[in-house]
Amino acid sequence: PYLFSLSLAGFVEEPERKYCFECDSEEQCQEWIEALKRASYEFMRRCLIFYRNEIQKMTGKDPLEQYGISEEARFQLGTHK
């Protein structure tokens, strides 16, 4: 009774891959869904941008500059991959 599925599109080997999850409770389904969201590229990107800005406010320096990626658009606020 507690099922949900996740469809992934765009992979070359498997253009439409689908994962089915079966849980013991509604709460467990919600926990899985939240964990999957937190593992997404976009969530991680937003966290990076947030913490990058916080560090820059505190130190006055861009923490990504030392890695030579401070100007990459994908790590800029308000831009998308």
What is the reported pTM?
0.60
Determine the Cα–Cα distance for residues 53 and 77; give it in Å rounded to an integer: 9
Instruction: For 45-70, write each residue's pLDDT tens digit.
Output: 889 889 999 999 999 998 888 888 77
**Exposure on the CB side of residue 72, measured as CA atoms within 13 A:** 14
pLDDT at position 79 is: 47
Domain ranges (residues) in the chain? 1-64
Instruction: For 13-28, write each residue's pLDDT tens digit.
Output: 776 788 899 999 999 9
Q: Provide the token pair at 32.
A: 């899985």
